[in-house]
Amino acid sequence: MRTLDDLIDEGVEGRTVLVRSDLNVPLDDSGEITDDGRIRASVPTVSELSGAGAMVIIVAHLGRPKGGADPALSLAPAAARLGELLGAPVRLISAKHWDAGKGDLGMAAGDVVMLENIRFDPRETSKNDDERAALADELVALTGDDGAFVSDGFGVVHRKQASVYDVAQDLPAYAGGLVLSEVEVLRTLTESPARPYAVVLGGSKVSDKLAVIEALLPRVDALLVGGGMCFTFLAAQGYAVGDSLLEREQIGSCRSLLESGKIVLPTDVVVADDFSAEAQTRVVAVDAIPDGWKGLDIGPESVTAFAEVLSGAATVFWNGPMGVFELAPFAEGTRGVAQAIVGSGAFSVVGGGDSAAAVRALGLPEDGFSHISTGGGASLEYLEGKTLPGIAVLEQ
């Protein structure tokens, strides 16, 4: 796989480089960015190219637009924040204002521009190869005769999309620093993890992570389960779970997975009579969840037990919060487990998504972890053993 360093060595001054970044950041109701982690992670590659004299065109998406442009999903906030971090303006080019036929965005060496949300064009995510290829051709036309493509959006490399996969077939393609570091870390986890190797999984649904659990169990020494998904496992052990999140159709699968003897479940949980920060709460044993109450976090006894397992680990992978960390009464499970991972001294990888957001939202030290991924779904699919189209195309 050719890398950003290879491209820089070849020379980029005066060349146009298309960079696929992942700027899919959360926004609040007023359109303000609530977690700029992915934008910050994109800076080194963009800065290196710009500093070397390239004309950088960033392609990215935000959310899942339906049927065309949606002002609420504009990349304008991301362009403004990236400009602040780069110390130079990043001009946002609306879809109707870039003409692929002319391929002229009025750029000079070192300039950085950002195309408006690429998913405003339905061809980006089309299952039709010809439709995606047509959009890719238009993107390639923007780069001129000596253009190049840098894939630096790890959060999208598991998608076969025009700006991720098809463009890489039409331009000299390189892995950006972010993608390269992500792949190297995940290879360590799959090929040669130091042992004991512990995995912490949370989040809401077992069905979302069933395949990765099945793939990981033969490779790990312990798999700790929290979050909403733990209640289906608890139900598989015969416990009543009140109004907690439960996937009844997955109980049989969970029962089979428990036979491995490697899965560690909570022994106590924080329950509430309502899904709100103002709800009444209690800490109860997992065999004493009241009818009508729902589990929204793991309890302190479980945090201690999880921390004991983690203290002896040499490698830790964490994906998914232990509870509804966005609400203060249900944040301590996630906080406690995260602090235990930091304190373990293990080679620790945070698998993107809500876990990475929790680290920042709870004020935990980012440098306390060995690596914080920018792509939750991509990380899980890699560990599951799936082929990631956006990586495979770089290896051709």
Are 4-179 and 193-384 equal in CATH topology?
yes
What pLDDT is recorded for position 396?
87
Q: Which residue, 350, 313, 312, is CA-closest to 334? A: 350
How many angstroms separate the CA atoms of 270 and 275, rounded? 12
Q: Which two tokens stand for residue 113?
A: 């521009």
Q: What DSSP character marks residue 289? A: P
Q: Where are the domains of the chain?
A: 4-179, 193-384
> Which residues line the annotated binding site for ATP?
209, 295, 326, 352-355
What pLDDT is recorded for position 96?
64
Q: Which residue, 392, 394, 338, 330, is CA-closest to 368? A: 338
Catalytic residue among 38, 132, 160, 262: 38
Catalytic residue among 153, 155, 202, 353: 353
- Residue 38 annotated among the catalytic residues of the structure: yes
How many angstroms separate the CA atoms of 396 and 393, rounded? 5
For tokens 């405003």, the residue is: 120
How many angstroms separate the CA atoms of 382 and 159, rounded? 12
Order of all β-strands in the sheet with 281-285: 281-285, 268-272, 294-298
Sign of CA dihedral 201, 229, 358, 298: negative
Phi-psi region of 303 (alpha: psi -120 to 50; beta: other; left: phi over 0): alpha
- Residue 102 annotated among the catalytic residues of the structure: no
Look up the pTM and report it.
0.89
193-384 has which fold? Rossmann fold (3.40.50)
The DSSP result for 101-140, as a single string, is: TTT-----TT-EEEES-GGGSGGGG-S-HHHHHHHHHHHH
Catalytic residue among 205, 282, 360, 386: 205
4-179 has which fold? Rossmann fold (3.40.50)
Catalytic residue among 203, 375, 377, 390: 377
For tokens 């934008």, the residue is: 39
How many angstroms separate the CA atoms of 57 and 113, rounded? 5
What pLDDT is recorded for position 69?
87
Q: What share of the chain is helix, strand, coil (3-state, %, to 5)?
A: 45, 15, 40
> Which residues line the annotated binding site?
22-24, 38, 61-64, 119, 159, 209, 295, 326, 352-355
Question: Would you call the peptide bond into 329 cis, given omega within 30 degrees of 0 as the criterion?
Answer: no
| Ordered per-residue pLDDT tens for the chain, 396 residues | 999 999 999 999 999 999 999 999 999 989 999 989 899 999 999 999 999 999 999 999 999 998 788 999 999 999 999 999 999 999 999 876 654 444 568 899 999 999 999 999 999 999 999 999 999 999 999 998 899 999 999 999 999 999 999 999 999 999 999 999 999 999 999 998 999 999 999 988 899 899 999 999 999 999 999 999 999 999 999 999 999 999 999 999 999 999 999 999 999 999 999 999 999 999 999 999 999 999 999 999 999 999 999 999 999 999 999 999 999 999 999 999 999 999 999 999 998 778 888 898 888 888 999 999 888 889 999 999 999 999 999 998
Q: Which residue, 260, 350, 328, 335, is CA-closest to 302? A: 335
- Residue 219 annotated among the catalytic residues of the structure: no
Query: Hey, how many other C-beta atoms are within 10 angstroms of the C-beta on 188?
Result: 16
